[in-house]
Amino acid sequence: MKNKLNKFLGIFILALATIVLACDDEETVNIIEPEAAFVLEQSTASNVLLNFGLPDNPAFTVTWSDPVTGSTNYDIEMDINNDFSNPIMLGSSSTNSFSINVMDLNSAIISTGTAEFDGLTVYVRALAGGAISNTVTYSITAYPTEGGVAITDPSNGDSFVLSIGSVDDVILDMQWADALPEAIGSVDYVIESALAGTDFATIVVIGTGTDISSLELTHSALNAVALGLGLPADTAGDVDIRIRATTTNDNGTLLERISETTTISITPYAVSFPNLYLVGNATTPDWNNNNNNTAVFRNQDVPNNYIYTGYFNTGEFKLLEVLGQWQPQWGTNDGTTLAVNPGGGSDPGAFSVATAGYYTYDFTVVDEGGSFTVTPYDASGDPTYSTMGLIGDATPNGWDGSNDTNFTQDANNPHLWYINNVTLTNGGQFLIRANDVWPGEPNAAVWRYTGSSETYGQSNLDNGGGDNFPFTLPTGSYNVWFNDLDGRYVIIPN
């Protein structure tokens, strides 16, 4: 055993000596540091989409390391040629980084005279005295600063006299050109109108479309636009039109451009529009098309404008034209414009109410479309009345101050009132009053006539006197709806 151990130790010592001798024979290993350099770093975000809707946002930021020049002032330049034969100065920096915003970079690209706006390769470098950094590249999607969306037809000053005898004939074929590259993605167009000189304070949508460059308008459609703007029938009025073009990029950013305004003259004709009724689980009648469905109130000055301020449950609703029928049915497929199934087609999507509460919905019907807005309404300061009634010689109980013809209060909305099957007398007058009392008494409120020639309008809350409502329709049975939040009313024959 002792001999074996001695033999093992001998072998180990021999091996160790061999290693030591081998190390003595090897050359010394030297680690060489890389040569210091002026280096521009390539950004990980090398694909840049310039969003014309956010001109002041950074387009890109370049950074660099410079252990060589000791400079405190750097110039950054770009070129669309990799040999920098025509460099453009982007700016200067006293630090080791430089940012440029969307508008300035886009302008620099435009100044090169290139006709390419999508997938354009741009070369960037930095200079410090006589030293030049390496080059980094970006793939840029730029946008034209001139041209944009331009209406080519109609022209400023064109006139259109509309005829009820030609409702289905095309009177205007709108045309436009768009300089935005198609490669940027699909473009959604909204053709907007407004009364001339109002800076589009109130807009009526003429039509919409995706990746289109024209839109045909019939006499009926253009007439609805003119009436929706408040132009009186048989009277020429000036209308401004423009096109809003939007594109959503891959990051979900909305890119928006607006054309220059074109002003035309339109002479509309008189036409009537149907009443509309609420249906859906956001409303009192639920999804029952013949359940005393709430009438939507009308703008007495704009026959195709419907306005309803009231309480909505969380849920959905649509609009019907005929009680007991599901078509014609109005809704929305995109959350901003109106859509209709006049019968035999596909039903539109519903208006969605995410949070229960009071809202004002404003609908303007244009042909088989149109637009709408919705805004929250604060009803906390509005009084809640115990009763609401009609009084006057057009009503069943005449001017008997102790015997109003009372409305029924809506179960879902204490500010909404209705009377069904009330007999109203031709040639008589009436008022709407709260709590069965006259001005001067506690909790009094009286609504007065404001001159509507239709069976709908908006009355004034006036306790100091004013006009009575004249009733000029034939004597007969009517349903009456009234909203004490804004004084709107509608009278519907049975």
- What confidence tier does 54 reach under pLDDT thresholds 50, 70, 90? confident
DSSP 261: P
- Contact present, 493 and 424 (Cβ < 8 Å): no
Cα(189)–Cα(195) distance, integer angstroms: 20
- What confidence tier does 5 reach under pLDDT thresholds 50, 70, 90? very low
For the chain, first and last CA: distance in Å?
124
Once rounded to an integer, what is the mean pLDDT over residues 399-405? 92
Cα(387)–Cα(409) distance, integer angstroms: 8
Mean pLDDT over the full length of the chain: 89
Cα(249)–Cα(255) distance, integer angstroms: 7
Cα(493)–Cα(422) distance, integer angstroms: 10
Cα(363)–Cα(45) distance, integer angstroms: 44
304 pLDDT more than 50: yes
CA-based angle 419:424:426, to the nearest 5?
A: 155
12 pLDDT more than 50: no
Cα(349)–Cα(338) distance, integer angstroms: 9
Cα(458)–Cα(306) distance, integer angstroms: 12
Q: Is 152 left (phi over 0), alpha (psi -120 to 50) or beta?
A: alpha
Cα(357)–Cα(490) distance, integer angstroms: 23
- What confidence tier does 367 reach under pLDDT thresholds 50, 70, 90? confident
- Tell how far CA 52 is from the center of its chain: 17
Cα(137)–Cα(128) distance, integer angstroms: 19
| Per-residue pLDDT at 116 | 72
Least confident stretch, 134-143, 259-268, 322-331: 134-143
Backbone CA torsion sign across 376, 377, 379, 381: positive
The pairing of strands 262-267 and 159-161 is: parallel
Once rounded to an integer, what is the mean pLDDT over residues 79-100? 95
| Per-residue pLDDT at 466 | 75
Per-residue pLDDT tens over the stretch 149-163? 899 999 999 999 999
| Per-residue pLDDT at 465 | 66
Structure tokens at 221: 């459609």
Q: Where are the beta strands (DSSP E) in 50-148?
A: 58-65, 74-79, 88-93, 97-101, 120-128, 131-132, 136-141
3 pLDDT more than 70: no
| Per-residue pLDDT at 73 | 95
248 pLDDT more than 80: no
Structure tokens at 422: 């009330």
CA-based angle 8:12:17, to the nearest 5?
A: 150
- What confidence tier does 256 reach under pLDDT thresholds 50, 70, 90? confident
